[in-house]
Amino acid sequence: MILFTCYSKNLFKINDLYLIGTNSIRILSELIKKVNRQPQLYLLASGLFNQPTPARIENLRSLLNELLQTIPKNAPELPILMALKPQLNYKEDLETEYSRLFILAFPNKPVQPFASYWLESDQSLMGNSTLEIKKMMAEQGIEVAENSGLLPDHIVSELEFLAYLASQDDEKARQTQQQLLEQHCARWMPQFIAELKQANPILYYQLAADFLINLTGF
């Protein structure tokens, strides 16, 4: 079983996993070399919705820089990435905004980052939709790290899972990615993004939302 530790060990410690000998995750630098930028883009999206700690923002900036070095000039996401670059500087306000938007909003209600909230009739977390994602991950040998504070259907987990799937060559992973996007993410992320925009977020999160729209086509 591969530990899905990207969250708890910081986003870009995938190398560690590779080093500790768990099976098939490729190291980031290998991914970067590939023409397919999808894994990095999903990782970036995942990181943007994760708690913006100083270390994580630093890692995001490195990832963005690497992406900008390899990305073709005509890539559709380039303008958003360029706009994001100056935003990737840690400020406490960023963490306050993150807490306001996704955890304990006041006076507005939080934009719940869990698929289950949007998909279950009673808005419960850990609903069937969560278990479906958990199962999907398990079939790929992935599970959410126990100390991550995340559920499998948290937007960070799902985007990170998409990054993993996009990094795999095999047909099954490709099918899972498609299924996840079309039959699951498409059912809740558009509502999530719409509510995020309504919450009048600071530029960082406006761009994160735009980036997610650009990436998924939702």
Compute the half-sphere exposure of residue 188: CA atoms within 13 Å on the CB side of its CA. 22
**Closer residue to other proteins in complex, CB, 30/139:** 139
Query: C-beta of 126: minimal distance to other proteins in Å?
Result: 5
CB nearer to other proteins: give 118 or 161: 118
Query: Which residue, 9 or 85, is less far from other proteins as judged by CB?
Result: 9
Nearer to other proteins, 112 or 167 (CB): 112
Name the minimum Å distance from CB 51 to other proteins.
Answer: 6
For residue 129, the minimal CB distance to other proteins (Å) is 11
- 37 vs 134, which CB is nearer to other proteins? 134
Work out how close the CB of 53 gets to other proteins at its nearest, in angstroms, rounded to a whole number: 9
* Token output for 202: 């600071």
Report in angstroms how near the CB of residue 46 gets to other proteins at its nearest: 17
Residue 157 CB, nearest approach to other proteins (Å): 13
Q: How far is CA 74 from the centre of its chain?
A: 24
Q: In angstroms, how far is CA 117 from the centroid of its own chain?
A: 17
Alpha helix (H) ranges present in 34-105? 38-48, 54-70, 78-84, 92-102
Three-state SS at 209: helix
Sign of CA dihedral 84, 90, 91, 94: positive
Positions touching other proteins (CB under 8 A) are 51, 92, 95-96, 98-100, 103-110, 112, 114, 117, 120-127, 131, 134, 146, 149, 151
Give CA separation, 41 vs 17, 30, 88, 162, in Å: 20, 14, 15, 10
CA distance 60 to 8: 15
Q: Which is nearer to other proteins, 37 or 100 (CB)?
A: 100
- Work out whether the CA dihedral 84, 200, 12, 143 comes out positive or negative: negative
